[in-house]
Every structure is written in structure tokens, then in C-alpha cells.
Structure 1
Amino acid sequence: MSGRTSEASPLMANELINVVGNTRRTLRRKRIKLACFILSFLLLLIASLGLMIISFPMEGIVSTKVEEIIKNEVVLQDGSFSLPIWTDPPVKMYKDFFIFNWTNPDNVINGSQKPNFKILGPYKYREYRTKYIDNKHSNKCVISYIQHKTYEFDPEASFPLMKNDKVFVLNIPVAAAPQQISNTIERIALEGAIKATGAKLYKEIEVDDLIWGYTDTFIELLQTVGKFPKGVKFQIQKNDDPRDYNSLSSVGTGRCNISDLGNFHQWDGFTSLDIWNDSEHNKVKGTEGLLNQPLLKEGQELFIWIDDIMRWAVIYDTGERHTRKGLLTWRFTNTKEFFYNETRYPPNRGWYQNAPEGLLYIGNSTIPAGNPVWGSNPLFYQGDPGLVQNVSGVTPDPSKYTYADIEPLTGAVVYVHRQIQINFELRRADYLFYKHLPEVTYFPVMYVDEHGELSQELYDTISQKLLLAQIGYGAHWVLLVIGILLLIPTVIIGFCILKHIQVIKAIKVYRDITSP
């Protein structure tokens, strides 16, 4: 026994030496590997936290730079992309006219039926806006100009409808005349004028004349007795003659105050009007609607000037978002108070909105001014139910309302539908041939849809101008996302470090036990 033990002792010693040696080499490799893991962990952690920390101030830096670039591009000055767009808009604008053709006038006059209408349209007129800058009256803060706004019938887009189509409509000068007489003598004279000229409560007329103005023997007779301005037509819509020169207008350039961009300082020679109920409502303010201040905020309200009816209005961000040819747009529309009457919304007393809900007074913009003419949403949408109940052939349509899709960074309107219906307030005149009518009826005459969209070239231009903004804002998120993603391998390596520390501790214990 003792001999076998003594023979085995050298072998056992060699094995222990080898085991200990292997343990030391394994421990060394593990320590080197642990050091590499720790170094990688620290580098990744620093990179991850660094990218996330840098991303937040970068957003502010990029935003400031983007805002500076956008402001320089949209202000009305030489070299900006907005100036030529504002001067001669590359927007194909149309005014579509829908006529309420009155199908049963005789039955309405004798009291057997209520007015029935068949809507005809659209009669499409191409709209041209050209501004001629007046450098003499312009400066850094304000740019002055004369604008021509003309309309030309587009037979191809309107086909098969033609501008000389004949329709039956309310004869507004005849219907309005009783509201302008003040005594018995004038009343007798009006009855005589109607009989002498053969005028009726309704009129057959060509569409083009109805829209842009007409005269007839009854109007000429009114002119003779001083009840109608001489030398003018009865006109609801205005179409500039290219040979005419309107009065000077001026708007803010945005160079002195970016929020003043496009806001009227003077319109057609006026800084304020004298046609509304108080000074606030007579102010000329807001933009023409095609160019607005940039860098819009969610829920923001904007003032616009509606030259067709000579008043300002407020539009607001509805929260709807739309994408048009790659551009994100925000939808703006009239505030809900726009068509409220003064009973529901007292400030509208300044606009003389004392009619049923859904109507706004626009008689000041007719020629001659002062006719009882009222605007509304097309087809009386959102109006008092009685407006529809008193007529037939008219059904409100929720899609018929005014809105503009605006690119929020530049403030550019890229798509717009400005819609309004023109109605006449007809009051019963017992001594004339419409004594069987209700006390008051609001007769629809036409509704107008003024609409347009940016050209593809302008879409591309705005997209290019916004590219830096998109890259800049994207860089903030890219850095933040990369920083977050780097946390994943950092955590994995952290677990590897913990595992290696445990292995190293185990090896040390084994080495201590097995060492001779």
C-alpha cells in the first residue's frame, strides 16, 4: 500500500499543477474579456445618453434656424419665393355658379304653391388676379399695389352648360322696390312703373347677365325718377374691366412683424368703411386669404378680408389634417358664430344680422347698395329650418361649406373652397301682384363656389423649401431614437458583465481550493 502511494504522488502533483495553470490562464482570459465588455458598456452608455441629451437642445436650435429660413422665404421682398406667388398667383382659381332656376313662379304668385327650384350648374368662370406693385407708396413694412380681379367663362369646363342659357329667377329690382317707397304717391308711381314696363316678380334672363349685371326698361325708369343710380347695371357680382384701375391697396410685408404678413393696411383706398354698425366692424383687416402668417399654432384663429361682401371674418383651425401631394395641411373654416344672428350672438349686430339663423347681410356689396340681400351656406346648410321649409327643391348638404387647407409652416393656402349662397328677402306687398306670398320669404338666387389649388410647380417649390425643416426636425427624432436603440446592446452587455463577474468569482474559488 505504501509503495503504490509513493509511486502515484508525482503524477498527482503534476495534474494539480496543470489544473492550477489552466485555471490561471482561464481567469486571465475572462478578466480580459470582462475589461472589453466594461469598455464597450461605458462607450455605448455614453453614446446613448449623449445622443438623447443632444437631441433635445438640437430641436430648439433646428427650430430656430428653420423659423429664420421660413420667415426670410415667405416675407414679401425681392428674392423671396412668396413675392411672385402673391403678385401673380400660379393657382388655377375658378368661380362656379349654381343657379336656382325658379320653376313655378305663377303658382307662387297666386298662392297655390311654395317656390320650387331646380339647381343648374356649375357655370365655371376662370378667375385671374394680378397685382401691380406701386413702389412709390411701398416701404420695408408695407407693400402697396393695384389689383385687377377678372373672370372669364370657361365653356369647356362648363359643357354642356353655356353662359347664354336662360333661367327664371326672382326679379330683384322689382322685388326690392316696395321696400324703398315711403308714401302713397311713390306707391302709386311704382304700380304705374310696373304696369308701364310690363315688369314681373320673376325674370327670364341669361346666366351671364344675371351674374355680372343687367339693365332693363324697369331699371331705366327707376333711374329716370332717381330711384336707381344712373349709368349702372343691377349687379350682384363684380367683374373688373382690365382697362380700369382700382384704388390703391396695401398689406404688411412681414419684414417688420412676421404676424403682419399679408394683412391689409388699406383696401381699395379705404382703411375703414362706413357701411356697418360701428367702428370695429367697419375696420379693414385680415388677409385676402391666399397668404397668411407662417409657423401656425394648433387651434389658431386667422382674420381674413372678404372683398366680395366688404367685411372681415375669423377662420380657425378645425383640427383636421389632410395631405395634398405630399404636403401636410391644416383645415381652417369659418367660426360657428359667422352665421349666427344678433339674438344668439350679440356682436353680430354690427353686421346687421337680424334675420333668421344662418343668414348674413351682404346687401352693402350689391349695386346699388342697400338691397335686402343675404348670404348663407349653400342650400341653407346650418340655417334655420324654416329657410328650407318655405321652399322646395333645396336640400342642405354638409359638404357645402367654406374651408381652406393651409400648409402650417409657410402659411400658404394650398387648397380652398370659399362658398356662399345669395338670397333675397322678399316681403309681401298687398297692393302688388304678390299679395298671396308669406309675410317674408328668403328666395335663393344662386350659390357660388370659389375654389383653387396650387400648381404642381408650386407644390414642388414649397416642398423644397420645407426640406431643410423636415431634415432638421427629423434629425432630432433620429438622434433620440438611435440613443434609445443603443440602450438595448448596452443592457445586453451589462448582463454579460454580471455573468463574467460571477464566472471569475467561481474560478477564483476553485483556484483557491485546488492550489497546493
Structure 2
Amino acid sequence: MALVESKPFLGNGTKTKIEPGGCCHSKHTRNCCFISCVLGSVFLLLGVVVLAAGHGLLMRLVLSTMPLKPGSERYQSWLTPPVEAHLTGYAFHVTNPDDVVMGMKPILQEVGPFVYKSVTIKDSRDNLVFNEDGETLTYKPRKFYYLDEEQSIGDPDKTFITVPNIPLLSALSATKNEKGFGKTIKVDLILKEGRGTPFINVSFSGLLWGYEDSLPCLKMTPPEHCPKPVSFNSLDEEEDQEEQDDFFEDEGWKRKKRSIPDLRDADFESWEKPKGGFVNCTCNWGLFRDRNVTLREPVTMHHGLSNLRMKGWVKEFNSSPVLNWWEPGSKCDEVGGQDGGTLPPGVLQDESLDIFISLMCRRLSLNYEKDEIYPEDLVARRYIPDENALGSHTDTDLARRNEDNKCYCLPGFKCLRSGVLNMAPCKRSPSMPTGAPLALSYPHFYQADPHFLQAVEGLKPEKERHQFYLDLSPEFGFPLAIRPRFQLNLIISRDEDIPILSKFQEELVLPFLWAQDGFDQPSDVMAKSIRKGLDIPEKYSRLIGVVLLGLGGALLLGSLIWILWNKRYNSQLETIPLK
């Protein structure tokens, strides 16, 4: 410090003033203190903001990665989901077929499960394009099914069941409204081809992927060269066509080795099969024969880049904004709903999920039921169809009645009671203008009119086994489980003009297969990835907020200490009078 002598303006005394010196009292230090105060205040404010709103800000940052952008991680996970889907099938074995032909009640025995690994390829052979509208993409899926021996109850090649003869009964159904000699000629021709009886005994594999029956190829010309047959359970093994009456006799079937080849650029054309066609110059027909490998109808949906809330919404099916199956101009015939594997993030609990399911020929509305807990402490919201989702608009039971389903009833087609949808309109083709006599319901007629359950024996509807459900991680829109469950039934009507149909019940809706698709658990990789995505906004917002508060507090505290110290130091300075 320095002593400075000064003379007062009045008086005779002389005073000496003590002035501080050194770097702690310099102008630079005072400026640093001021800047520290400002920065500390800013950091404190930012810390409070981050703790209060940082979670939302970081969540929006995570959500910005959700659209299906080419080359992004989300796009790749959509192409190759980190979870393994399965198709699980159960057949209904008719134990008294002769009695059913005579008008008695069918007695059914459920046989299964038979489980098939399901692989969907969306980008094979350039069959995926991002459209010029900047909002949608179009893809044509191919599905591949491979038997999962470990999860199946037995060998489907050697498990034989008695089921309705679908090709025969479908062909006869098309003649129902005809009369006279022309009908007689057609019926005789139909009965002379194929197996010729209302019920047949085939393997479970045969029912799904193909068995010998000449009737479906009646109007086809056999090829000049017949390819080597390909297995329906594996694309590189021959199917064992040996018939056996006993279930599960061969235990060695589980030791068969099946491999899955690279599917994106494979020789699809040599694997594709129509529902009915020639194999080694022998006609084969299978319920799902045309669904394995064959390129399906194109789906145009929103990718979410322009509007994330629209992600997964189907805009067109088979290159059309309408289905051309149901009442023209109605909501039933309007393409829409979510693509089942692609849902938008941020779905609220009270929102309905509108799902488009091409296999069911319709959309289905799902609503929140309850929360479910999954690995990694993930909380999912379970969405299920309402009790009246498949309800008839004429049902006297108000709990089942659904006026919105009126547009699924077309003139010329039978409109069935609640819980069962006549699928004939969506199964029409040039060769079958009246459609196949198939009906869709939930398994075991769950939530259907009691009439259907009372018409057969052996069914027992259960909510846990037979309900359609989707478990959704709402923050990101990821399905943790999705189980579309459906039952296929054949509509058999009595026809007095056809002897083999003349003693059936007036109308019998006969179940022959029920199946569930999708998956019931997320994979470990999927669960951990979702957990990480949920934790980042919460943990990082807390960490960043605390760091900012700590830094701001330290800067303010340091400035306050300097100010107090400097004030105290200055208070000790005094002016000393000189005598």
C-alpha cells in the first residue's frame, strides 16, 4: 500500500491516505468479478431451466430420430426389426364328419400349436421407394415362414387332421343360386375332380402349404416342364407326403436341420406358388400356399419425416386409396389406419389405435385396457378391440351392436351375426365372382354371438388365449408385443339340389383353423434400446442441470467472497492526521 499526503481545503492539518495496491485490487480483477457474477447468474438460470424443462427438450431431440429416414438407425430397425415374429397355428380336427354331413353338430378337437418363424423382407429387388410427395414410402413385403420345431407340438408333416374340403365346398357354393340342367352339369363336373367329399384328411402342413387336389387346377393347363417340388416347411427340403393316421408318431423329426438363406436377392420366382397350382404335374392347393415367398400387395404409408404424428399411417393399399371390397364410399372401404409394425410416438392413453390388417380385410380400432410391465422395467399400455368391434349393426344386444359395421354388409352377400365377418366380398376374383365362403372371427368365437358357439362342440373361448392385443411403449411408439389373433371358418349352406349338401344344417359356420401372428415379448436388445432412449432425457437433463447449478453457484460464491473480502479490507483503511 502507499501513503499519500494531501492538504485539506480548510484547516491547518495535513492528512495521509492509505491506498490499496497489488493485483487483488486491480481493475482487471474487478472486471473478472463482474463477469463471474454475470456468468454465474446465467448458469444458475440455465440450470433451473434444464431441470424444469430439459427432459422435454432432450425427449424432442430423441424423437427427431424416429422418422423412417433413409440410412438412419430407425429405418434399419424397421427393415430388420430387433425381434423375432412367429405365426402360430391351431387346426380344428372334426371327429365326426359323417354325422356333420347328416346335419348333426360338429365335434371339434383343437390340434396344435405349430409354430413358424416369420421373416418379412420389405426391400427385396428395389421394391421399396420413397415417394416424390416427401411424405410417404411404398413397399411390397415378402413373407417367409420356417418351422420352429422346438416350439411346435409335433411334426406338421405327420400330424393329420380332418377338415372341410375347402376347394370343393367353395366351388359348390358358387352354384347355389343356379337352377336346372346347367347347375347339374357343373356340380357333376366339380364332383368328378379332386377328392369329391365334404371332409378330407390331410396333414397340417398340407392344409397350410399344399396338398394334392386336382379340382383347383380344373381350368389350368399343366406346364410343359414341372419343377422339382420344394418343401413347404423349408425352402431346401422335400416335403414328406406319407400319410399317417396317428399324431406325432415320428420323434426323429426334431433332428432335421433347416437353414435360412439370404433372402433379399434370392431366386424368388422359383419359390413362388399360387394358392392352387401344379407341382410335378400334380395339382396342389394350400390355404397359405400363396403367402409364403410371394410378393404381396404394395403398401403406401407415411414415413414421418414431414409429420411424425402421421408415421405409419397407411395412405394406399394395392396402389389405391380404397379397398374396393366393401360399400363404395364408406369408411369400411376407405384405406387408412396404422401399419401394424409402425406406430407414431406420443400416443395418449385415451386415444384409439386404428390398425389396418390386410389378412382380416379391414381396419380394427383398439382402445386402452391396462398397463403391462416388461423387462428393463418398461411400462406398456395394452390396447384391445372393443367388445363390439366385430358386432352386427342389427344385434339386439346393445353391448355387441355396432352401427359402424353396417358398411361391411353388401347386397347379395350374407351378413352374419355379431363376432363373425363374411369375407366373401374381399375374396372375389374373376374366376370366383361371388368370393370364397370364408368367415373371420376371433379364436373359439370369442366375443361372438352365442349362436356360433352353440352350433359346435369342443370350443372354449378364453380372454387370455384368444384376445387380440397390442402392448405399446407410448413414448416412442414401439410395440413391445402385438398378437393379432383370428379364426378362419367355412360357411357351409344346405343345398337340396346337391346330394352331399342336402342334409347339412341350414347354415353352418365351421371353424377349421385359428392363428396368432406377431410376438409377445421384446428382445433383450430391443428392451435395452428402449430403456436407454427413455433414460437419456431424464438422466442427462438432471446431470446437466446439476452441473450448471454447481458451476453457476461456484462462480457467484467466488465473486461474493471477493466482494466481501474487498469491502472488509477497504473498511480497514483510515486517514491518519499528521501533527
State the TM bucket, normalised to the shorter chain. Answer: 0.7 to 0.9
1:73 to 65, 72, 80: 65
What's the offset of the Cα at 1:463?
1.2
Please tell me the residue identity of whatever aligns with 1:460. K
Q: Per the alignment, in what secondary structure is the counterpart of residue 327 of structure 2?
A: coil
State the match for 1:438 in structure 2: 505
Alignment of 1:457 with 2:525, yes or no, is yes
State the match for 1:514 in structure 2: none
Compared CA separation, residues 205 and 186, structure 1 to 2 (3 A): farther
Normalised TM-score (structure 1)? 0.74
Structure with a larger share of its residues in helix: 1
State the match for 2:460 in structure 1: 395
State the match for 1:341 in structure 2: 392
Deviates more, 1:445-454 or 1:467-476: 467-476
Alignment of 1:202 with 2:269, yes or no, is no
State the match for 2:7 in structure 1: none
State the match for 2:86 in structure 1: 94
What's the offset of the Cα at 1:317?
1.7
State the match for 2:568 in structure 1: none
CA distance in 2: counterparts of 1:184 and 1:62, whole angstroms: 79
**Equivalences for 1:39-188 in 2 at 5 Å?**
61-78=53-70, 80-111=72-103, 113-132=104-123, 134-135=128-129, 137=131, 140-181=134-175, 182-188=178-184
Compared CA separation, residues 59 and 235, structure 1 to 2 (3 A): farther
CA distance in 2: counterparts of 1:169 and 1:391, whole angstroms: 14
2:535 to 447, 467, 472: 467
Give per-residue Cα distances to partners, 1:259-301, cap 9 Å, x unaligned.
1101122334333221111232222212221221101211211
Deviates more, 1:257-266 or 1:173-182: 173-182
CA distance in 2: counterparts of 1:60 and 1:281, whole angstroms: 46
CA distance in 1: counterparts of 2:420 and 2:365, whole angstroms: 16
Compared CA separation, residues 108 and 83, structure 1 to 2 (3 A): same
CA distance in 2: counterparts of 1:126 and 1:101, whole angstroms: 24
What's the offset of the Cα at 1:135?
4.4
Compared CA separation, residues 63 and 392, structure 1 to 2 (3 A): same
CA distance in 2: counterparts of 1:382 and 1:435, whole angstroms: 31
What's the offset of the Cα at 1:85?
1.4
- Whether the 8 Å contact between 2:488 and 2:512 is mirrored in structure 1 is yes
Give per-residue Cα distances to partners, 1:158-178, cap 9 Å, x unaligned.
142323422110112322334
Please tell me the residue identity of whatever aligns with 1:211. L
Q: Per the alignment, in what secondary structure is the counterpart of residue 419 of structure 2?
A: coil
- Whether the 8 Å contact between 2:380 and 2:474 is mirrored in structure 1 is yes
Q: Per the alignment, in what secondary structure is the counterpart of residue 335 of structure 2?
A: coil
What's the offset of the Cα at 1:329?
0.6
What's the offset of the Cα at 1:61?
2.1
2:382 to 331, 337, 341: 331
What's the offset of the Cα at 1:203?
1.1
What's the offset of the Cα at 1:340?
0.3
**Equivalences for 1:307-386 in 2 at 5 Å?**
307-343=358-394, 344-352=401-409, 354-364=415-425, 366=427, 370-386=435-451
CA distance in 1: counterparts of 2:350 and 2:438, whole angstroms: 33
Compared CA separation, residues 137 and 255, structure 1 to 2 (3 A): closer
State the match for 1:192 in structure 2: 188
Please tell me the residue identity of whatever aligns with 1:321. E
- Whether the 8 Å contact between 1:223 and 1:230 is mirrored in structure 2 is no
State the match for 1:495 in structure 2: none
Compared CA separation, residues 351 and 64, structure 1 to 2 (3 A): same
What's the offset of the Cα at 1:215?
5.6
Q: Per the alignment, in what secondary structure is the counterpart of residue 65 of structure 2?
A: helix
Normalised TM-score (structure 2)? 0.66
State the match for 1:15 in structure 2: none
CA distance in 2: counterparts of 1:270 and 1:213, whole angstroms: 31
State the match for 1:257 in structure 2: 307
Extract unaligned runs of 5+ from structure 2: 1-43, 222-273, 279-283, 395-400, 547-579
Q: Per the alignment, in what secondary structure is the counterpart of residue 383 of structure 2?
A: strand
What's the offset of the Cα at 1:346?
2.4
What's the offset of the Cα at 1:76?
0.8
CA distance in 2: counterparts of 1:245 and 1:148, whole angstroms: 5
Compared CA separation, residues 158 and 459, structure 1 to 2 (3 A): same
State the match for 1:273 in structure 2: 323
Give per-residue Cα distances to partners, 1:447-502, cap 9 Å, x unaligned.
001131332112111111111234378899x9xxxxxxxxxxxxxxxxxxxxxxxx
- Whether the 8 Å contact between 2:217 and 2:277 is mirrored in structure 1 is no
Identity rate, percent: 21
Q: Per the alignment, in what secondary structure is the counterpart of residue 463 of structure 2?
A: coil
- Whether the 8 Å contact between 1:153 and 1:163 is mirrored in structure 2 is no
Please tell me the residue identity of whatever aligns with 2:481. Y
Give per-residue Cα distances to partners, 1:298-355, cap 9 Å, x unaligned.
1211221102133222112223333344211110112333210121222212222821
Compared CA separation, residues 222 and 147, structure 1 to 2 (3 A): closer
CA distance in 1: counterparts of 2:439 and 2:292, whole angstroms: 26
Superposition RMSD in Å:
3.3
Which one has a bigger Cα radius of gyration? 1
What's the offset of the Cα at 1:238?
5.6
- Whether the 8 Å contact between 1:127 and 1:149 is mirrored in structure 2 is yes
What's the offset of the Cα at 1:96?
0.6
CA distance in 1: counterparts of 2:151 and 2:428, whole angstroms: 29
Give per-residue Cα distances to partners, 1:204-224, cap 9 Å, x unaligned.
122122123556233334669
- Whether the 8 Å contact between 1:174 and 1:199 is mirrored in structure 2 is yes
Compared CA separation, residues 409 and 254, structure 1 to 2 (3 A): same
Extract unaligned runs of 5+ from structure 1: 1-50, 479-516
Aligned residue pair count: 423
1:285 to 336, 360, 380: 336
- Whether the 8 Å contact between 2:376 and 2:531 is mirrored in structure 1 is no
- Whether the 8 Å contact between 1:95 and 1:448 is mirrored in structure 2 is yes
**Equivalences for 1:293-304 in 2 at 5 Å?**
293-304=344-355
Please tell me the residue identity of whatever aligns with 1:417. R
Q: Per the alignment, in what secondary structure is the counterpart of residue 360 of structure 2?
A: coil
- Whether the 8 Å contact between 2:317 and 2:323 is mirrored in structure 1 is no
Compared CA separation, residues 137 and 241, structure 1 to 2 (3 A): farther
State the match for 1:406 in structure 2: 472
CA distance in 1: counterparts of 2:501 and 2:144, whole angstroms: 37
